């Protein structure tokens, strides 16, 4: 039976008003499992107007009270982890252990947000001159739009929304139409935690809903995670309407393996970082960079049997290593890029095309694939494949490896595996990449640090979660204060100084 989904507005389920709907699929079976309403501009406006009223009262709510509600929400997330993981796996396809990992990383940010009384403190200086005290405060900005991706339907709404709400704003989430049920359930949990109606909203749709948020006068800020093409549009279009915009986008993450590295550890790290979640992660390692021919040979010797042993499976299969991709179109695109790699001259050592699973013949599966001798000119090197495909390219020197990474248009994440501290330190200094791992294959920072890449992996000046998020989701006021007993007689016409 096909489920009828809904928007979440003002603390309750709201059915779509129009006749535009999308279908939600189970990627493992190819079956339609839900029908999703697509919001019109007028529907988005109603959501924003509702959120605007809620934001005014929520922004005036005491900071400790906000913190208490966030902590109750955190407890509900913990209690409902398995339910969320099941929901996530069914619509996205990722395995239950992978889904639980995603949920935990979202909870980490909620825990950080609960510390908002400390995080949002301003600054103060007494008697900066002429008996004037100077202090700064941070205030909410109002209604924040969050446009979130399919690959992390729990984690990313929590990364954005928990911080936005903690700072006193209302949040309007426009999630991916591919897996919308988790964002809806998060909204229900917020209401159960005691968040006032209208502070957290979910509106579903396509480009029409996105443009309605980007162009709305009462939405001063937009946070986005997704592909680079869309992210660039979000950033440029939102900026035209005088919004602050942060857009976290695509990636092509490298992992350098130095000759002195532990090759078994490096191979295991590449398997997890390259093929976890079927490669549908912006922090996935998709290019292995062994330095020198001997390192390349030693790595390939270890990688091939490990890649061949990876099993495709549905989200609830405890033996599954690789889940299906999100759509049939994604499956066809990834298989097409594998074919393109062969045409361009790369050596395909493990071929995941045509993968089929008994009982799931219509699922969107692509098996693990491994290329060797990939060059910088090839499409499979330049493009973010977003599938279970690992490319190996082998520069002869450390400097060549660094140049290769810096020449790529993306700069989201990178890693180096080595026993040499000097190599690691030099590498960390020289690469133009936002997040760097030293013997850590997926260097996603913890909630109390900032997340964000460089180059075309990010548009905008601020980072995700951590202290940077406080700056993005608030506006600063600076107050100069002096009381009558400190004021000298007579008008002073010269520009004020601290003489």
CA distance 214 to 172: 12
Q: Enter the tokens of residue 288.
A: 């292995």
Count CB atoms within 10 A of the CB of residue 35.
14
Q: Mapping DSSP to helix (H, G, I), strand (E, B) and coil, where does residue 171 land?
A: strand
Q: Is 416 helix (H, G, I), strand (E, B) or coil?
A: strand
Do 405 and 274 belong together in one domain? yes
In terms of DSSP H, where are the helices of 20-115? Answer: 41-59, 63-79, 81-92, 96-113
Q: Does the residue 490 lie in any domain?
A: no
Torsion-angle region of residue 226: left (phi > 0), alpha (psi -120 to 50) or beta? left
Structural domains counted in the chain: 2
Question: Are both 169 and 311 inside the same structural domain?
Answer: no
Task: Say how many residues make up the chain.
Answer: 499
Distance from C-alpha of 36 to C-alpha of 187, rounded to nearest angstrom: 16
- The answer to whether residue 489 sits within a structural domain is no
Tokens of 255: 């992992």
Residue 265 lies in a domain: yes
In terms of domains, do 151 and 266 share one? no
Q: What is the DSSP letter of 464?
A: B
In a domain, 190, yes or no: yes
pLDDT attached to residue 174: 98
* Amino acid 31: pLDDT: 97
Is residue 331 located within the same domain as residue 379?
yes
Q: Which two tokens stand for residue 211?
A: 């443009």
Instruction: Assess whether 228 and 270 both reside in one domain.
Output: no
Residues 234 and 339 in one domain: no
Residues 308 and 208 in one domain: no
**Beta-sheet strand order (sheet of 369-372):** 347-350, 369-372, 389-392, 285-290, 253-257, 413-417, 435-438
Q: Is 200:161 a contact under the CB 8 Å cutoff? A: yes
282 flagged as catalytic: yes
445 within a domain of the structure (yes/no) = no
Which tokens belong to 365?
């599966």
* 223/34 Cα distance (integer angstroms): 27
The alpha carbon of residue 439 and the mean position of all alpha carbons in its chain are separated, in whole angstroms, by: 22
Pair 156, 258 in one domain: no
Domain that holds residue 358: 253-438
CATH of the domain at 325: 3.40.309.10
SS3 405: helix
| In-domain check, residue 428 | yes
Structure tokens at 102: 């995603």
Can you give the pLDDT at residue 138? 96
Segments in 80-222 forming alpha helices (H): 81-92, 96-113, 116-119, 155-166, 181-193, 207-214
Tokens read off for 387: 């599938």
Mark the ranges of the chain whose per-residue pLDDT is less than 70.
498-499
Do 224 and 280 have their domain in common? no
pLDDT score for 494 = 78
Helix (H) or strand (E) holding 268: helix 263-275
Q: Rg (Cα) of the chain, in Å, rounded?
A: 25
DSSP-derived pairing of the beta strands 12-14 and 21-26: unpaired
Report d(CA 104, CA 113) in Å as an integer. Answer: 14
Distance CA 465, CA 144 (A): 15
Residues 167, 182, 249, 282: which is the catalytic one? 282
409 and 268 fall within a common domain: yes
- Distance between CA atoms of residues 385 and 353, nearest Å: 14
| Digit-coded pLDDT (tens) for 122-145 | 999 999 988 999 999 999 999 999
Q: How far is CA 191 from CA 44, 82, 198, in A?
A: 20, 19, 9
Per-residue exposure over 48-75, b if at least 16 CB sit within 10 Å of its own CB, e if not:
bebbbebbeebbeeebeebbebbebbbe
pLDDT at 489: 77
Query: Which CATH number is 152's domain given?
Result: 3.40.605.10
CB neighbours (10 Å) of residue 175?
26
Please give the structure tokens belonging to residue 45. 């406006």
First to last CA, the chain: 77
Per-residue model confidence (pLDDT) at position 499: 65
Residues 243 and 270 in one domain: no
- Dig out the tokens for 179 from the structure: 């897996």
Answer whether residue 485 is part of any domain.
Answer: no
Residue at 180 is within a domain: yes
Q: Are residues 107 and 157 in the same domain?
A: yes
């Amino acid at each position: 039976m096909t489920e009828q989904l809904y928007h979440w507005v003002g603390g309750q389920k709201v059915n779509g008003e129009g006749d535009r709907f999308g279908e939600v699929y189970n990627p493992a079976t190819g079956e339609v499992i839900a029908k999703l309403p697509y919001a019109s501009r007028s529907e988005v406006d109603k959501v924003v107007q509702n959120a605007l009223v809620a934001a005014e009262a929520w922004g005036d709510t005491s900071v400790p009270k906000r913190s208490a509600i966030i902590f109750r929400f955190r407890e509900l997330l913990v209690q409902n982890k398995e339910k969320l993981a099941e929901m996530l796996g069914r619509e996205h396809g990722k395995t239950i252990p992978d889904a639980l990992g995603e949920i935990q990383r979202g909870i980490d940010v909620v825990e950080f947000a609960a510390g908002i009384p400390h995080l949002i403190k301003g600054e103060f200086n007494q008697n900066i001159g002429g008996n004037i005290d100077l202090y700064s405060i941070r205030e909410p900005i109002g209604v924040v739009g969050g446009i979130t991706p399919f690959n992390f339907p729990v984690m990313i709404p929590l990364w954005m929304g928990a911080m936005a709400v903690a700072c006193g704003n209302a949040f309007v989430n426009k999630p991916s139409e591919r897996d919308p049920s988790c964002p809806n359930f998060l909204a229900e949990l917020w209401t159960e935690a005691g968040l006032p109606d209208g502070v957290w909203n979910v509106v579903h749709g396509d480009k029409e809903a996105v443009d309605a948020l980007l162009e709305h006068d009462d939405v001063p800020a937009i946070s986005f995670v997704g592909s680079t093409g869309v992210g660039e549009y979000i950033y440029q279009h939102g900026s035209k309407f005088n919004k602050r915009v942060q857009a976290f986008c695509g990636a092509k993450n490298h992992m350098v393996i130095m000759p002195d590295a532990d090759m078994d550890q490096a191979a295991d790290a590449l398997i997890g970082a390259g093929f976890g979640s079927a490669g549908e992660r912006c922090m996935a390692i998709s290019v292995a960079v062994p330095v020198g021919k001997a390192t390349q040979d030693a790595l390939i010797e270890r990688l091939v049997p490990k890649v061949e042993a990876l099993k495709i499976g549905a989200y609830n299969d405890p033996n599954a290593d690789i889940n299906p991709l999100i759509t049939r179109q994604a499956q066809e695109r990834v298989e097409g890029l594998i074919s393109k790699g062969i045409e361009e001259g790369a050596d395909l050592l493990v071929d995941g095309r045509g993968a089929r699973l008994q009982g799931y013949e219509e699922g969107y599966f692509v098996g693990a694939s491994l290329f060797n001798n990939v060059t910088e000119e090839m499409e499979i090197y330049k493009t973010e494949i977003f599938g279970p495909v690992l490319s190996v390219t082998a520069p002869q020197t450390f400097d060549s490896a660094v140049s290769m990474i810096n020449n790529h248009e993306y700069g989201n994440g990178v890693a180096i595996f080595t026993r040499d501290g000097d190599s690691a330190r030099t590498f960390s200094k020289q690469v133009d990449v936002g997040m760097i791992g030293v013997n850590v294959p997926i260097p996603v920072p913890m909630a109390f640090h900032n997340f964000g890449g460089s180059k075309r992996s990010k548009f905008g000046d601020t980072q995700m979660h951590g202290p940077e998020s406080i700056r993005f989701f608030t506006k600063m006021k600076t107050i100069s204060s002096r009381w009558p007993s400190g004021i000298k007689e007579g008008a002073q016409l010269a520009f004020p100084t601290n003489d």
